[in-house]
Structure 1
């Protein structure tokens, strides 16, 4: 069997043979708010890294705020000397980038699996959750679904404009689910799907959603949870790049229009044992009920993960299929946790609360911890919406309340890591306070 370094080296050399015009490769990872950071490496230097040369980036790059600034979080950033931390290349993720003007490659990097992983790095947080589940004999199978909006490339005084219908050059300003919208925007959508496939992402269903210029793209079910989250992260990057190439803006912003539906990140999760049996379907689906109960119990404490910014909280309630309370139901899209109709082999939950701009590694980690907690506690859930339309428990709908609910929750501190919880909550709190430090025109109109 090839060594890890030999496998990586072979991947880089094969890439160079297949793409001789590529001179640089972007080495990228996701920070806490869900943005990519990294460095652009000459391809020959990448080969040295693959062969075993150190790959180091500042540890505190993970802590960047939504606008790229650094916040004082404990001793990080300002009292720690801004140290480097080792990263490693993620095998199988070296792919060509076709939306840039010049030939380019990209490859994921991570600290998980290194000698000293960064405790608050999103991919490392998910890796630890998955490792613990595997030791318990639990093997998740995961599929993401992502909604997004297309806008005109040009903003109007900073505000988004409806995407132009390429056939009529009129604004696509009518919300609908018509299949013809897929045809009218087929050139950009087809390029998005093919580009995602070129990144190794298993793209399946494409849907024209209810909002104007809104679409959803689904991914195949994946037995490697880290890979499933990688797909979601990489898809966001490639989709924005392809949209710009075609004269549009693509955005995963949670609620770009108050009058139209927001964009969500729906996550399907099933759990199997080592023999491939669906754990949720055993004993007349009793484990399913336990898992749902755990998800609902922890959901109010995970809101800074599911709604990671001020705008994301706007998405909750007021429009179709967006829950206002922690609730569940069978075949019910108003529920945070939906149980789609399926045979016992494919029985799963669909977690529908997260916004499309949430960090996919952290969203999946939080969902899995909820399922794990439920299986351990073996409690019954509240009634499903199918039995009681008023069923549900409240969750925070403002960031500072959400941070307070998350920071001292014992199960999250234990299973996501106390260091991560403290760092993440402070990052969200500081980001929210920074967002408030600007007086908008409406404030003058109301109070001047």
Structure 2
């Protein structure tokens, strides 16, 4: 038994000794649309997997559409025999699930690091980008911020309802950023934070956001990009579960209300060398400007990642603090790329465009490819918004146009992998077409 297996076996045994009433563990991984799939294993079988027994799931689980269906993508799904692909346990991710009625465990799995990685698995795509950067002496430090809404648990005519204020039982329908909202919703918010920390997630600042029932959670900075994305993905899963316990729905939908702000995924990224020097701060911050230029040039071709569905594109419609063009600025929340005020050690870029329902592994991978190419080409960016409020680069706001722009971009095909780009774009194209195959009530009102 090698050292990795020994450590995994020790992790499983320690978990079993601590949580004697846990009988099953969910082995989970994120698919392309950002949903978890996996298997529920008896905990005694998990120890065998940790010791080296085979762990396989269908390769095409990664390709599921938003509604769980399979699309014909090249030879995948319908002409490949639906083969199994090996997975491995991700060390350090075996944690308790305390929002279910029966105690469970959960643990991340991935094809990354197996003898046959799935090139279009989101975690593997990010792993390859990080490995390439490390080979160039570039080491990112990353922190995610996620916005989300609380709704009443019961829908009305299929539509979400404002969350009920637990103190007054009235609908929390007043947009504000008042600190009192944190107090009123403290029971559910506190359990969300405690549950996240039980999964090893370093949750930090909580903010009551502008929308009714809208909140933001910040995570600590990590020098492990994979773990940073793991935290974002796992937080979404646990937060939804905790909300249901408290008779709410927690949603990371990018634009649930047309009249209120959408929910974003903000990603802070700084880049360091092996000695711990901030690469962006060198040479009077010229690398920062080069990195910004690379990100902005690539951003229009990454829109299917940053806004992965029809609703996410709605968020980019000119509401407060959401950019409608690829732009940047110092301490400017209207920009796609904001450079927060900081010292040279902590100089970073905050990428603010992605919707909260985007896939965190792919969002980070796309951002890093833009930064990487900016550093290599060394071009100067367009003027910051601080100097010119009209500065910016147009990006597509319609899914099929965005997919075409992504699929044929040579830089993305090289940076993320050509096979991934092909598979992802076809998945988004088919998902969008499936979504459009429905006539809603408004069409009948307008055109019948």
TM-score by length of 2: 1.00
| Structure 2 unaligned blocks of 5 or more | none
Residue number in structure 2 paired with 1:6: 6
Secondary structure of 1:13 counterpart: helix
Residue number in structure 2 paired with 1:235: 235
For 2:403 and 2:410, locate their aligned partners in 1 and report how far apart those are by CA, in whole Å.
14
Secondary structure of 1:29 counterpart: strand
Is residue 400 of structure 1 aligned with residue 428 of structure 2? no
Secondary structure of 1:141 counterpart: strand
After TM superposition, list the pairs within 5 Å mapping 1:261-280 onto structure 2.
261-280=261-280
Quote how far apart the aligned CAs of 1:318 are.
2.5
Secondary structure of 1:128 counterpart: helix
Secondary structure of 1:277 counterpart: coil
Residue number in structure 1 paired with 2:37: 37
Is residue 150 of structure 1 aligned with residue 139 of structure 2? no
Residue number in structure 1 paired with 2:290: 290
Residue number in structure 1 paired with 2:85: 85
For 1:407 and 1:96, locate their aligned partners in 2 and report how far apart those are by CA, in whole Å.
40
Deviates most, 203-212 or 317-326: 317-326
Cα deviation per residue 1:111-133 (whole Å; 9 max; x = unaligned)? Answer: 00001100000000000000000
Residue number in structure 2 paired with 1:222: 222
Residue number in structure 1 paired with 2:176: 176
Deviates most, 1-10 or 293-302: 1-10
Residue number in structure 1 paired with 2:436: 436
Secondary structure of 2:384 counterpart: coil
Residue number in structure 1 paired with 2:203: 203
For 2:252 and 2:158, locate their aligned partners in 1 and report how far apart those are by CA, in whole Å.
17
For 1:81 and 1:318, locate their aligned partners in 2 and report how far apart those are by CA, in whole Å.
46
Quote how far apart the aligned CAs of 1:317 are.
2.7
For 1:2 and 1:87, locate their aligned partners in 2 and report how far apart those are by CA, in whole Å.
17
Secondary structure of 2:158 counterpart: coil
After TM superposition, list the pairs within 5 Å mapping 1:186-197 onto structure 2.
186-197=186-197
After TM superposition, list the pairs within 5 Å mapping 1:326-341 onto structure 2.
326-341=326-341
Quote how far apart the aligned CAs of 1:319 are.
1.1
Secondary structure of 1:302 counterpart: helix
Runs of 4+ in 1 over 2 A off after TM superposition: none
Cα deviation per residue 1:103-148 (whole Å; 9 max; x = unaligned)? Answer: 1000000000001100000000000000000000000000000000
| Structure 1 unaligned blocks of 5 or more | none
Cα deviation per residue 1:341-380 (whole Å; 9 max; x = unaligned)? Answer: 0000000000000000000000000000000000000000
Is residue 422 of structure 1 aligned with residue 422 of structure 2? yes
Quote how far apart the aligned CAs of 1:195 are.
0.2
Secondary structure of 2:422 counterpart: helix
For 1:322 and 1:415, locate their aligned partners in 2 and report how far apart those are by CA, in whole Å.
26
For 2:61 and 2:398, locate their aligned partners in 1 and report how far apart those are by CA, in whole Å.
26
For 1:6 and 1:126, locate their aligned partners in 2 and report how far apart those are by CA, in whole Å.
26
Cα deviation per residue 1:152-205 (whole Å; 9 max; x = unaligned)? Answer: 000001100000000000000000000000000000000000000000000000
Is residue 69 of structure 1 aligned with residue 69 of structure 2? yes
Alignment length (residue pairs): 448
After TM superposition, list the pairs within 5 Å mapping 1:53-68 onto structure 2.
53-68=53-68
Aligned-CA RMSD value: 0.7
Cα deviation per residue 1:73-125 (whole Å; 9 max; x = unaligned)? Answer: 00000000000000000000000000000010000000000011000000000
For 1:17 and 1:38, locate their aligned partners in 2 and report how far apart those are by CA, in whole Å.
24
Residue number in structure 2 paired with 1:311: 311
For 2:224 and 2:318, locate their aligned partners in 1 and report how far apart those are by CA, in whole Å.
35
Secondary structure of 1:222 counterpart: coil
Residue number in structure 2 paired with 1:166: 166
Quote how far apart the aligned CAs of 1:2 are.
6.9
Residue number in structure 2 paired with 1:126: 126
Is residue 259 of structure 1 aligned with residue 235 of structure 2? no
For 1:393 and 1:438, locate their aligned partners in 2 and report how far apart those are by CA, in whole Å.
33
Secondary structure of 1:267 counterpart: strand
For 1:441 and 1:124, locate their aligned partners in 2 and report how far apart those are by CA, in whole Å.
41
TM-score by length of 1: 1.00
Cα deviation per residue 1:10-51 (whole Å; 9 max; x = unaligned)? Answer: 000000000010000000000000000000000011000000
Residue number in structure 1 paired with 2:245: 245
For 2:79 and 2:439, locate their aligned partners in 1 and report how far apart those are by CA, in whole Å.
31
Residue number in structure 1 paired with 2:367: 367
Is residue 48 of structure 1 aligned with residue 30 of structure 2? no
For 2:202 and 2:222, locate their aligned partners in 1 and report how far apart those are by CA, in whole Å.
9
For 1:442 and 1:178, locate their aligned partners in 2 and report how far apart those are by CA, in whole Å.
36
Secondary structure of 1:308 counterpart: coil
For 2:134 and 2:297, locate their aligned partners in 1 and report how far apart those are by CA, in whole Å.
23
